[in-house]
Amino acid sequence: MVIITLQRDKCIGCNYCYELAPERFRMSKKDGKSVLLKAIDKKGFHTLKDPDHSIADNCERAAKACPVNIITVKEI
C-alpha cells in the first residue's frame, strides 16, 4: 500500500508534482494549486491510499522536488 498526502493549503503552484507524477497530480484551473487525484480531504490534508506500488517512485520524486515540502509518500 502506498499512502500519499498533500497539504494543499500550503501549495505555491510550482507545478513540479504534476510534471513528475502526472498520473496522480493535476494543477487546479481555479486557484493554480496542486490537486491529488482521487484523494480524500480531511482538515486540509488530502490523502490517497493506493495498492499500486508502481506509483511510489514518481510520487517520491515529486515529494523531493516540492520546494515547500507539502507532499509525503509512505509505503507499507
User: What pLDDT score was predicted for residue 26?
Assistant: 97
Return d(Cα 11, Cα 33) in angstroms, integer. 6
Question: Hey, where are the domains in the chain?
Answer: 1-73
- pLDDT string in tens for the chain (76-residue length): 999 999 999 999 999 999 999 999 999 999 999 999 999 999 999 999 999 999 999 999 999 999 999 999 999 9
- Number of helices (H) and strands (E) in the chain: give both, helices first: 2, 6
The answer to whether domain 1-73 has CATH 3.30.200.20 is no
User: Whole-structure pTM over 0.85, yes or no?
Assistant: yes
| Type and span of the H or E element at 48 | strand 45-50
User: What pLDDT score was predicted for residue 15?
Assistant: 96
User: What pLDDT score was predicted for residue 22?
Assistant: 96
User: What pLDDT score was predicted for residue 13?
Assistant: 97
